[in-house]
């Protein structure tokens, strides 16, 4: 088995929102999402799971959704920092349609939506 090669792969740094400490010992992030289509009038949705709580509000355009996510877990663990949020992004699309951008970056620049390449050298 050969080692994976990263030559030619574009390195993408995602603009993760900073964790903000809350008075109750939790941490929160504030997100901005832009969808390809207009959001429904009612943006109430239960997108929380065992690791994060989610509050949604409409943004400044018909396609923009703002979210505050909070956790009482270890905010810097891979399970919460990455995996939980990848599932959250998938739940957003399942509820509201295809994302155009996350934090001002194109949807396809974010896992879990990045196209994968299986190039052999």
DSSP character string of 38-61 = PPPS--------SS-EEEEEE-SS
pTM metric for this prediction: 0.85
Residue 100 has pLDDT above 80, yes or no: yes
pLDDT, one tens digit per residue, over 43-80 is 988 999 999 999 999 999 999 999 999 999 888 898 88
User: How far is Cα 43 from Cα 110, in angstroms, rounded to an integer?
Assistant: 23
Query: How many C-beta neighbours within 10 Å does residue 44 have?
Result: 6
Q: Give 105's DSSP letter.
A: E
Q: Tell me the domains of the chain and their CATH numbers.
A: 20-109 (3.30.70)
What confidence score (pLDDT) does residue 121 get?
A: 43
């Amino acid at each position: 088995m050969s080692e994976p090669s990263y030559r030619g792969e574009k390195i993408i740094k995602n603009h993760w929102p900073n964790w903000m400490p809350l008075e109750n010992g939790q941490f929160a992030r504030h997100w901005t999402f832009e969808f390809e289509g207009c959001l429904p009038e009612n943006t109430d949705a239960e997108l929380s799971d065992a690791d994060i709580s989610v509050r949604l509000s409409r943004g400044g355009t018909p396609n923009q959704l703002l979210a505050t996510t909070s956790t009482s877990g270890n905010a810097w663990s891979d399970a919460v920092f990455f995996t939980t949020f990848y599932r959250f992004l998938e739940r957003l699309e399942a509820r509201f349609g295809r994302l155009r951008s996350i934090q001002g970056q194109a949807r396809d620049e974010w896992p879990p939506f990045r196209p994968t390449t299986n190039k052999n050298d």
